[in-house]
Amino acid sequence: MPKRIKKAPAEPKEMTPAVILEHRTMDIADLTPYYKNARRGDAEKVGKSLHLNGQYKEITVNIGTHTGRPYEVLAGNHTLQGALKEIVWRDSKSRKSYHKMPWEEIAVGLVDVDEEMASRINVVDNQSQEGGTYDEPSLAELIEGMQTTEGLGFVDDEASELIAQFAKSAEEVSLPDIDRDTPRADSQDDYDDGEGRERRPKDRDVPEEKEADDLEGVEPDAELQIVLEHRMDNMWFGDNEWGVPDLLPDMLVQALPSNDIKCWGGEKATPDDGKQWFLYNYRMGERAGMPFDRTILAFNTHDHKFSNWWEKPAFYVAQYMAAGIKMAVVPDFSFYHTEYRSQHLWNVTRAQWMGRFFQAAGLKVIPRLQFDYMDPKSLDIALLGIPRNAPVLATSQQNFDRNNPEQHFDLAAKHLQEALDELQPDTLLYYSGPPGRRLMEERIKFDGNVVFVDNYAAVRRGAYYDKSTGKKRITKKQVAAIKKKHMLEDQPKADMQHYEDDED
């Protein structure tokens, strides 16, 4: 039998380190956990932390070009589980109750790695959490000054026991003798040489200034977020009786980049040709393939879908600016006719404050016009803070009572005409479906430039509801049958609000 010749071991392949390609916010529904995640964590504990502390560290997501598994979470799987979890709990000490709802979005860092590196990232992320220890006295001192230990990951009375243990230890430590004649650090000896002459800087114990390279490795969006977090408490006041913030004239969009702007409806419905400009309504349509540098950010949707921007404006503004957004429409907080005027005043205040905050971040903004058709005095509130003779003004006209369209059209036309006569913008960015466009074309007199943008439902109709996809639009008869099956009753007409954007 011939001797078996041993083959020389293959040279190990040189691994390419993983690099974060993009920082952004993604819909959690688009993400999948790592398929071989070996670590088991406490999703409820993580969920409590996310609710009370927010997401202070992004999760790492693999694009999946090399693995065939798109948007797979390599590091941060337990953060993902905690974000998805609904938790209700009560703090036994403060007697405060908490209710965390499932998150819909999460901050991610995108990589695009092969199977080997994907496995390494997952293992290292899990293993790095093992074996760490605390300097317990320092930890006790750190948490003692906190208002609550909820959300820190301690079980039962662990935190209280830790504080009590090291507080007792501190009392037993003898303090060193102090020479009362020793000059204090803030005495005059720190500032003169004993003869009234100021000491030179080189004689003082002044720490050296840190070099600029201390910021090496800091991502621009992280730096911007930190800066903006210091501006979140800013109060900007406008020249009106309620002090609703005015917008800065030099930070307004001076001209639209194109007269042909499409509402982004997803890559399938509105594919990018490399030239087209888009209007993206936050959380309306998947963002894959969207050219952020040729996109205007807008909020023509239900208020609850962008309430997170009001809660954490620094975080979201930084993320979208880092992605390439340079222009935004002032958020379109609604004026429901079923609400009090005080709510309308609050909504226009929030909208204008956020517009002013966008400008402070460096975004150019487009003022927006919103009003309540049913309130004859709505414009007294709706126009607060909106500049007159703005280069560009945006409005969304798509809420019409289908049971009484003509009356609603008459009221909408009256308010819109009065508003345009007073504001007199050069260009009107007009977002609507077919009924709203007909309102503008047939009922309104406006000498400026009008740029029509078909709404989200309109741009998706051909791509998602034609015969080629096999999907059909639900008929009114089918809607009635569904309501009957589930014993659903229609709301009173006075409470009806219809949104063409939600038809899909």
Half-sphere exposure of 313 (CA within 13 A, CB side): 23
Half-sphere exposure of 492 (CA within 13 A, CB side): 3
- Confidence (pTM): 0.53
365 in Cβ contact with 330 (< 8 Å) = yes
Whether residues 115 and 248 share a domain: the answer is no
199 in Cβ contact with 336 (< 8 Å) = no
Alpha-carbon dihedral 425, 426, 430, 436, rounded to 10 degrees = 70
The model's confidence at residue 169, banded by pLDDT at 50, 70 and 90, is very low
Whether residues 307 and 456 share a domain: the answer is yes
Q: What share of the chain is helix, strand, coil (3-state, %, to 5)?
A: 35, 15, 50
Closest to 153 measured CA to CA, from 163, 143, 145: 143
Q: Write out the two tokens for 430.
A: 């007009």
Residue 136 lies in a domain: no
State the residue range of the domain holding 474.
Answer: 224-503
Residue 489 lies in a domain: yes
Residue 173 lies in a domain: no
Whether residues 327 and 432 share a domain: the answer is yes
Residue 336: partners with Cβ closer than 8 Å, 6 or more residues away: 343, 372, 497
Residue 266 lies in a domain: yes
Q: Write out the two tokens for 11.
A: 């040279």
Please report, in angstroms and rounded to a whole number, the separation of the first and last CA atoms in the chain. 73
Closest to 458 measured CA to CA, from 325, 284, 332, 275: 284
Residue 203 lies in a domain: no
* pLDDT > 60? residue 166: no
More confident residue, 124 or 162: 124
- Mean pLDDT for the stretch of residues 358-377: 91
Whether residues 252 and 386 share a domain: the answer is yes
- Look at residue 284 and give its three-state secondary structure: coil
Neighbours of 443 (CB within 10 A): 14
pLDDT of the residue at 118: 86
* pLDDT > 90? residue 232: no
Whether residues 229 and 122 share a domain: the answer is no
Q: Write out the two tokens for 107.
A: 């901050």
Residue 277 lies in a domain: yes
pLDDT of the residue at 27: 92
How many angstroms from the chain centroid is the CA of residue 232?
14
Last residue of a domain, one of 69, 101, 127: 127
Whether residues 301 and 444 share a domain: the answer is yes
More confident residue, 331 or 234: 331
The C-alpha angle 431, 397, 350, rounded to 5 degrees, equals: 90
d(CA 393, CA 369): 7
The tens digit of pLDDT for each residue in 334-351 reads 888 778 899 999 999 999
pLDDT of the residue at 407: 65
Whether residues 122 and 262 share a domain: the answer is no
**Which one of 5-19, 155-169, 345-359 scores highest in mean pLDDT?**
345-359
Minimum mean pLDDT among 180-184, 190-194, 253-257: which range?
180-184
Sign of CA dihedral 368, 373, 379, 384: negative
Strand order in the sheet with 72-75: 22-27, 105-111, 59-62, 72-75, 32-33
Residue 6 lies in a domain: no
Last residue of a domain, one of 109, 127, 145: 127
Whether residues 101 and 245 share a domain: the answer is no
332 in Cβ contact with 368 (< 8 Å) = yes
282 in Cβ contact with 299 (< 8 Å) = yes
pLDDT of the residue at 178: 32
Beta bridge partners of 368: 394
- Helices 434-443, 405-423: crossing angle, 10 deg rounding: 60
Question: How many domains are there within the chain?
Answer: 2
- Mean pLDDT for the stretch of residues 132-149: 53
Residue burial 26-63, b: 16+ Cβ < 10 Å; e: rest? beeeebbebeebeeeeebebbbbbbbeeebeebbbbbb
The model's confidence at residue 87, banded by pLDDT at 50, 70 and 90, is confident
Whether residues 295 and 434 share a domain: the answer is yes
Last residue of a domain, one of 110, 127, 144: 127
The model's confidence at residue 412, banded by pLDDT at 50, 70 and 90, is confident
Residue 104: partners with Cβ closer than 8 Å, 6 or more residues away: 27, 28, 29, 283
The tens digit of pLDDT for each residue in 1-36 reads 444 455 555 555 566 678 888 899 999 989 999 887
Residue 159 lies in a domain: no
Percentage of the chain beyond pLDDT 70 is 68
22 in Cβ contact with 61 (< 8 Å) = no
Whether residues 119 and 235 share a domain: the answer is no
DSSP 188-243: GGGTB-SSSPBPPGGGS-PPPPPPGGGGTT--HHHHHHHHHHTTTT-----SSTT-
How many angstroms from the chain centroid is the CA of residue 353?
16
Arithmetic mean of pLDDT over the chain: 76
